[in-house]
Amino acid sequence: MTPSYLARRFFHALFVLWLSATLAFIALQLTPGDPAQALLAASGATADQVAARRERLGLDDPWLVQYLRYISDLARGNLGYSWLHGRPVGRMVLEQLLPTAELALAATAVGVALGLGLGVLAAVRQGTWVDVAATAVAAVGLSTPTYWSGLLAILFFSLQLCRFPAGGEGGLRHLVLPAAVLGFALSGSIARMVRARVAEVLGAPFVLAARARGLGARRVLLVHVLRAAVGPALAVTALQFGFLLGGAVITESVFARRGLGRLAVEAILWQDLPVVRGVILVGAVAYVLVNWAADVLQAWLDPRLWEERV
Amino acid sequence: MRRFTILFALLVAIIPACAARPGDRLVYGLTLAPSGIDPHVNASSELGIPLTAVYDTLVYQDLSCNCFVAGLAERWEVSDDGLVYTFYLRQDIVFHDGIPFDAEAVRYNLERITSDDLASQKARFMLGPYDHAEVVDDYTIRIYLGEPFTPLLDALSQVYLGMASPAALAEWGEEYQLHQVGTGPYIFAEYVPGDHLLLRRNPDYAWGPEIYANETAQVEEIEFRFFVDPATRSPALETGEVQVMGEIPPQDASRLSESDDFAIVPAAVPGVSLMLFMNTARPPLDDVLVRQALLYGTDRQAIVTAIFADTSPVAYGPLAAATLGYEPAVQGMYPYNAERAADLLERAGWSDSDGDGIRDREGEPLVLDLYLMSWGYMPEIGQMAAAQWRAIGVDTVSQVVSYPEALSIASEGTHHLIPFTLSGSDPDILRKFFHSQALFNWSGVNDPEMDFWLEEAAQLGDRQQRVALYSRVQRQVMQQALVIPIRDYVNLNGISRRVQGLRFDAQGWFPQLIDVTLEDR
Amino acid sequence: MIEWVAPRRRPLPRQPITLLALAWLLLVVAVAALAPLLPVADPQAIDSLHALQPPGIAHVLGTDFLGRDILARLLWGGRWTLQMGGLALSLAIGIGLPLGLAAGSGGGRVDALLMRLVDAWLAFPPLLLAMAVVAILGTGLVSVAVAVGIAAVPPYARVARSIAREVRAQPYIEAAWSIGCSPWRIAVRHVFPNALPSLVAFTATQLGWLLLNGAALNFLGLGAPLGVPEWGSMLAEGRGYLRAAPWASGFPGLALTLTVLAANLVGDGLQEALG
């Protein structure tokens, strides 16, 4: 891990940040609607008062001026105030980061465990009913929207069995259902990738050689096959991270949890530019970190990928 | 495999089942995590549900006499020209932080609300032509207006103009909404944005208005949680996680009301009914015959039955029946009559000449652009109404849009029909929709006579004269067929039968939490 | 206890499960294509007097909250869902695959630049990106497909790249390098064919994702145009009536799951056949 490698990584991260912030800005500019009008119309403000607010928010300035202001604020770490909430964006985002991270981590744990299990099971029993069953479970995970599975989980585990709370936060019990539902959805794609990869590895010469040397099936599976399978599982997880951040909005809604996803959806619907920017910033930073971690882990698991880094 | 099954069974057994909470803590489910809860800044109705118990207002609205009664102000005077309001304040009131309430506090609050820096989204505009406030002595305050504005008392009776502790406002600044301090029956104890809000009983409260039955609050703590997804509201109530839940979906409400453990407390919300605005500035809706045909061709009862399970009243005019100045004469107008609708369309020159089931005139088919927002059952209503109009030969192209987009479409006037609803206890709310300069003039109305009535009624001090003008406005709106009213808003609150005394104030949205009790069971 | 079946190449005709899955997919496609000719009720006809009827003789799969026939909506709904999924998938593959393979096989500066673009793209949560696109383009088949498809490009590019790079790291590619094969030739002749099995698996997965994301848009009220039958919106509308009328969301849910399952099984089968 040389300093120049770290520096390059850092500039990559900055570049990604700038690019996503710019994309967010363009997207919001293209969205029809006037944020100032949306904020005030229902309160009985006059057209003049709305115009005054629009000017105050800087919405009358040319695009380029707005963009430069936006980027320079971002560069100075000034996230500004939410137009809708009237609070500092930095604090709002930080408040929502923890519960989102909690759900994302728990769901990832469920998803990876379940995905690895199903994927390996399906691969080693390729073509049998076990494979079909594991694939079917993965397909249910893949195709069942969390707004539906989440509600089913609430009706069954909360209302019928009375075991887990239907919503809210507060300790592990509240986390079980949302993490299971979101993790299950995540496990589907992990299982599919793992199955494909393991099936490939099972036929690879080194595995056959290991078998030929008389190593037990369980040992070969643990040493060679799982090692090969973890890589793709990690890659899929890392790139589903965005899904966890944004897709969690549905799980958050169903299970009455707060989080970044809900904050972001609200900000997009109300065109609350400062909050959108704040969420993008946090999302991009988190994404860069997670993928960096995944890359390092993957390289560690497969040293051949390591050489070109150093 | 069996080991896992046993383990799982054990796990399930260990975790405690649903347990009833003790009687000193009530959990109240709200529907939206409000976007900011500073009542002076933010605009949502949800914020008022908890905060009406945290703040007191200068005056209160008494539903039994439809009049204003003393609050923080024990009495008040309005000058003959309607420009100066003098409030004489009670002298025994202290904020939750121990600071006495006085005229200077009122001035400080009004100053804050009207300052440009606060960027208020609602409170500022409720004050209308407010000019400035003057402290006459320690317990007398005068509010000066630029022109007469009768809805001022209505505004001052709402939580958005509740009185906050100047010391707390100064101390917390931009983060005040997490540390609110008022004078009400409940103390703002804790707020975790998006997750929960906790109120604690104020033991010193002794200055409640006469509309409160109790002197102090009966429940030690009330916790508010936010249930965004309508389908999960009833389950949260049934598992005992909450004891009160707002906005239960109608299909769940009918089941709950038949249960022994739960009940439904419906609260009629005054204001502008949910209605489809017809854009009179865009052909073919510039023709009153076509608009009337759409009204006759809309089976409102069927819509209310299918979508609202008959839990809310059919609306016949622009104002909900629970609103002051509601004109009952609109009730007989435009009963569902598809033949009459077809007849009117024929008279307007629209007939189905090519036999495709859609009427046309001079080769142009009768197609209307319908824009819907995704909340408030608008998509469901839109689908049903469109099917009914199809039966009279009118086709629609419908699209779901966001609120900001709906506003911009409507201000450009490229719509034919958009539904909307808004709550408010004063009939002046009509001015937001039917004045030619109004932002919500989605009907594209430009009627100098109506403008005059609306402006005049906002300034008249005499209630009967006001009501007479608003009656005219309502009749005119319906005679001109500017809107298709669908239903009055009714908030279906689900409660556990342990909860007693849940009543709502004149706004329909805000509970009088001081009178709520929670029985042990 | 662990005893795996050694993977072997099996031609399609020798895989009964894959054939069954393929038959289901073909059936769904055929029904979607022929929906206008099928003797079913009008999927958009509202009959509020017969709302939430359980499955029976008049309505084989029951009716929804507006009294519309669920069977008819299911049959017609596949049309929309498949078109949306197909369009979005081709968009994701059409952009993502070349992008990822180019980056992965090319390496160096090309890789760095392309991947930063993909990173910025990916740093956007896909659902939010889709929401933004629908907010700009409006609701409708094409805009939902574009929204969902665009959001699916970066995972595609990432996976294609990571597979390509892994293949590139194999000794035989290094050998190809050393004897002076051009990068392009290596990509087309060696990297792509070797990456194909993993890509096929990923595509099957991706179909599920696309349908799921499309369905999520429905939940947020931004999906199919109003009243148009579509499996995701049927699920979203029916879930409010899950207790009174489980059939209203159960059947579309089942259709969605079976179709994704079939696509996965066909993907597996193809992989085995091509192996």
Write out the H or E segment, with its range, that includes residue C164.
Answer: helix C141-168
Tallying the residues shown for chain C, one arrives at: 275
What pLDDT is attached to residue C187?
Answer: 66
What distance, in Å, lies between the first and last C-alpha atoms of chain A?
7
What pLDDT is attached to residue B21?
Answer: 46
Helix residue spans in B187-319 (DSSP H): 233-238, 250-257, 288-296, 300-308
Give me the residue from A126, A135, A142 closest to C212, CB to CB: A142
Structure tokens at A17: 């940040």
Which chains contact C through at least 3 pairs of Cβ atoms less than 8 Å apart? Answer: A, B
Do B42 and A44 make contact, defined as CB atoms within 8 angstroms? no
DSSP B269: P
Chain A contact probe: residue of B229, B408, B412, B415 with most A CBs at under 10 A: B229
What pLDDT is attached to residue A294?
Answer: 73
Q: Give φ, ψ of B282 to 5 degrees.
A: -120, 120
- What is the tens place of the pLDDT at every residue in B421-462? 999 999 999 999 999 999 999 999 999 999 999 999 999 999
What pLDDT is attached to residue B419?
Answer: 96
Chain A contact probe: residue of B126, B161, B228 with most A CBs at under 10 A: B228
CA–CA dist B406, C257 (Å, integer): 35
Q: Is this prediction's pTM over 0.80? A: yes
Do B400 and C226 make contact, defined as CB atoms within 8 angstroms? yes
Q: Which residues of C touch A195 (CB under 8 A)?
A: 201, 268
Chain C contact probe: residue of B303, B400, B401 with most C CBs at under 10 A: B400
Residue B240 lies inside a defined structural domain of this protein: yes
**Residue C231 in contact with partner chain A when CB distance is under 8 A:** no
| Least confident interval from A201-205, A278-282, B393-397, B473-477 | A201-205
Do A42 and B422 make contact, defined as CB atoms within 8 angstroms? yes
pLDDT above 80 for A26: yes
| Least confident interval from A21-25, A196-200, C246-250 | A196-200
Distance from CA of B339 to the nearest CA of A (A): 37
Region A103-108: what's the mean pLDDT? 89
Residue B381 lies inside a defined structural domain of this protein: yes
pLDDT above 50 for B99: yes
Are B145 and B459 in contact, with CB atoms under 8 Å apart? no
Chain B contact probe: residue of C131, C142, C220, C226 with most B CBs at under 10 A: C226
What pLDDT is attached to residue C8?
Answer: 59
Band the pLDDT of A62: cuts 50, 70, 90: very high
DSSP B191: E
Q: Provide CB contacts within 8 A for B114, sequence distance 6+.
A: B120, B124, B127, B130
Distance from CA of A139 to the nearest CA of C (A): 5
Q: pLDDT in tens for each of the 275 residues of chain C?
A: 345 445 556 777 778 888 998 999 899 999 988 888 888 888 888 888 888 889 988 888 999 988 899 999 999 988 888 888 889 999 998 998 888 888 877 767 888 888 888 877 877 777 778 888 888 888 788 888 998 898 888 878 877 787 777 777 777 777 776 777 766 676 667 767 777 777 777 787 778 778 777 877 877 777 777 778 888 888 888 888 888 889 998 999 888 888 888 888 887 787 777 65
Are B295 and B372 in contact, with CB atoms under 8 Å apart? no
Give me the residue from C66, C67, C240 closest to B249, CB to CB: C240
Q: Provide CB contacts within 8 A for C214, sequence distance 6+.
A: C81, C84, C85, C88, C144, C145, C148, C223, C232
Is there a single domain that holds both residue B374 and residue B435? yes
Distance from CA of B504 to the nearest CA of C (A): 27
Q: Which residues of B touch C44 (CB under 8 A)?
A: 387
Do C66 and B305 make contact, defined as CB atoms within 8 angstroms? no
Structure tokens at B236: 């949260």
Q: Provide CB contacts within 8 A for B125, sequence distance 6+.
A: A40, A43, A44, A45, A49
CATH number at residue B70: 3.90.76.10
Total Cβ atoms within 10 A of residue B286: 13
Q: Which residues of A touch C9 (CB under 8 A)?
A: none
Is there a single domain that holds both residue B129 and residue B190? no
Distance from CA of B108 to the nearest CA of A (A): 19
What pLDDT is attached to residue B111?
Answer: 96
What pLDDT is attached to residue A310?
Answer: 31
Taken in order B409, B412, B417, B422, the sign of the CA dihedral is positive
pLDDT above 60 for A81: yes
Residue B478 lies inside a defined structural domain of this protein: yes
Pick from A43, A40, A84, A52: nearest CA to B128: A43
What is the CA angle B9-B14-B17, rounded to 5?
100
**Residue C104 in contact with partner chain A when CB distance is under 8 A:** no
Which chains contact B through at least 3 pairs of Cβ atoms less than 8 Å apart? Answer: A, C
Structure tokens at A59: 């919405």
Residue B461 lies inside a defined structural domain of this protein: yes
CA–CA dist C222, C233 (Å, integer): 10
Region B511-519: what's the mean pLDDT? 94
> Is the N-terminal amide bond of C125 cis, ω within 30° of 0?
no
Q: Which residues of B touch C239 (CB under 8 A)?
A: 231
Give me the residue from A16, A136, A189 closest to C120, CB to CB: A16
What is the CA angle C249-C252-C257, rounded to 5?
115
Region A148-164: what's the mean pLDDT? 84
- What is the tens place of the pLDDT at every residue in B101-146? 999 999 999 999 999 999 999 999 999 999 999 999 999 999 999 9
DSSP A42: G
Residue in this structure with the two tokens 């939430």, named with its chain if needed:
C52
CA–CA dist C194, B146 (Å, integer): 79
DSSP A78: -
Across B362-501, the runs of DSSP E, i.e. the strands, are 364-365, 367-372, 395-400, 417-423, 483-487, 490-496, 499-500
Name the average pLDDT for chain A: 82
What pLDDT is attached to residue A306?
Answer: 44
Do C107 and A308 make contact, defined as CB atoms within 8 angstroms? yes
Is there a single domain that holds both residue B504 and residue B438? no
What pLDDT is attached to residue B20?
Answer: 46
Give me the residue from B255, B374, B383 closest to C227, CB to CB: B383
Q: Provide CB contacts within 8 A for A284, sequence distance 6+.
A: A16, A17, A20, A21, C120, C123
- What is the tens place of the pLDDT at every residue in B229-262? 888 999 999 988 999 999 999 989 988 999 999 9
Residue in this structure with the two tokens 């919001």, named with its chain if needed:
A28
Q: Provide CB contacts within 8 A for B101, sequence distance 6+.
A: B72, B89, B90, B93, B94, B95, B163, B183
Are B419 and B379 in contact, with CB atoms under 8 Å apart? no
Residue B108 lies inside a defined structural domain of this protein: yes
CA–CA dist B394, B295 (Å, integer): 12
Are B417 and B368 in contact, with CB atoms under 8 Å apart? yes
**B-chain residue closest to C221, CA distance:** B374
The residue type of C126 is: P
Residue in this structure with the two tokens 């996976």, named with its chain if needed:
C159
Are B260 and A178 in contact, with CB atoms under 8 Å apart? no
Q: Which residues of B touch C225 (CB under 8 A)?
A: 398-400
Residue in this structure with the two tokens 């970190």, named with its chain if needed:
A289
Region B353-361: what's the mean pLDDT? 91
CA–CA dist B39, B164 (Å, integer): 10
Give me the residue from C44, C48, C221 closest to B306, CB to CB: C48
Pick from A234, A223, A229: nearest CA to A295: A234
Instruction: Please provide the DSSP assignment of C10-59 as one string.
Output: --GGG-HHHHHHHHHHHHHHHHHHHGGGSS---TT---GGGTTPPS-SSS
Q: Give φ, ψ of C69 to 5 degrees.
A: -75, 120
Residue B5 lies inside a defined structural domain of this protein: no
Is there a single domain that holds both residue B32 and residue B106? no
Chain B contact probe: residue of C1, C2, C42, C46 with most B CBs at under 10 A: C46
3-state secondary structure B204-222: CCCCCCCCCCCCCCCCCEE
Helices vs strands, H then E, count in chain B = 16, 22
Q: Which residues of B touch C138 (CB under 8 A)?
A: 399, 401
What pLDDT is attached to residue A239?
Answer: 67
Q: How many domains does chain B have?
A: 3
Residue in this structure with the two tokens 């808004």, named with its chain if needed:
B422
Is there a single domain that holds both residue B130 and residue B154? yes
Do A12 and C116 make contact, defined as CB atoms within 8 angstroms? yes
Residue B178 lies inside a defined structural domain of this protein: no
Distance from CA of A40 to the nearest CA of C (A): 21
Structure tokens at B188: 């703002």
Band the pLDDT of B472: cuts 50, 70, 90: very high
Give me the residue from B174, B241, B439 closest to A41, CB to CB: B439
Q: Three-state SS for A228? A: helix
CATH number at residue B201: 3.40.190.10
Q: Provide CB contacts within 8 A for A77, sequence distance 6+.
A: none
**Residue A200 in contact with partner chain B when CB distance is under 8 A:** no
CA–CA dist B89, B76 (Å, integer): 9
Name the average pLDDT for chain B: 92
Distance from CA of C102 to the nearest CA of B (A): 39
Q: Which domains does chain A have, with CATH numbers?
A: 13-75 (no CATH), 95-309 (1.10.3720.10)
Is there a single domain that holds both residue B262 and residue B246? yes
Structure tokens at B222: 């009330």
Are C201 and A190 in contact, with CB atoms under 8 Å apart? no
What pLDDT is attached to residue A308?
Answer: 42
Helix residue spans in B52-195 (DSSP H): 103-114, 123-126, 152-156, 166-172
Do A145 and C268 make contact, defined as CB atoms within 8 angstroms? no
Distance from CA of C264 to the nearest CA of B (A): 26
The residue type of B322 is: A
Give me the residue from A81, A165, A258 closest to B193, CB to CB: A258
Do B387 and C46 make contact, defined as CB atoms within 8 angstroms? yes
Please, which residues bridge with residue B143 across strands?
Answer: B85, B133
Band the pLDDT of A309: cuts 50, 70, 90: very low
Q: Give how far the C-alpha of residue B219 lies from the chain's centroid of Cα atoms, to the nearest Å.
A: 26
Are A89 and A78 in contact, with CB atoms under 8 Å apart? no
Side-chain-side CA neighbours of residue C251 (13 Å): 22
Is there a single domain that holds both residue B252 and residue B188? yes
**Residue A131 in contact with partner chain C when CB distance is under 8 A:** yes
Higher pLDDT pick, A195 / B293 = B293
Is there a single domain that holds both residue B473 and residue B512? no
Range of the domain at B351: 271-488
Q: Provide CB contacts within 8 A for A132, sequence distance 6+.
A: C17, C265
DSSP B379: H
Are A291 and A132 in contact, with CB atoms under 8 Å apart? no
Is there a single domain that holds both residue B72 and residue B111? yes
Is there a single domain that holds both residue B65 and residue B214? no
Is there a single domain that holds both residue B339 and residue B305? yes
**Residue A158 in contact with partner chain B when CB distance is under 8 A:** yes
Q: What is chain B's alpha carbon radius of gyration, rounded to the nearest angstrom?
A: 25
Distance from CA of B306 to the nearest CA of C (A): 6
Interface of C to B at Cβ within 8 Å reads: 44-46, 48, 51, 65-67, 135, 138-139, 220-222, 225-227, 239-244
Which class would CATH give C15-31+61-274?
mainly alpha
- Number of A to C CB contacts under 8 A, please give it: 220
Residue B7 lies inside a defined structural domain of this protein: no
Domain termination residue (choose one: B117, B150, B172): B172
Q: Which residues of C touch A127 (CB under 8 A)?
A: 5, 10, 15, 17, 272
Structure tokens at B403: 């609120």
Tallying the residues shown for chain B, one arrives at: 521
| Least confident interval from B161-175, B265-279, B310-324, C137-151 | C137-151
Is there a single domain that holds both residue B284 and residue B393? yes
Structure tokens at B173: 């600044």
Pick from B286, B282, B281, B277: nearest CA to B318: B277
Distance from CA of A162 to the nearest CA of B (A): 5
Are A274 and A89 in contact, with CB atoms under 8 Å apart? yes
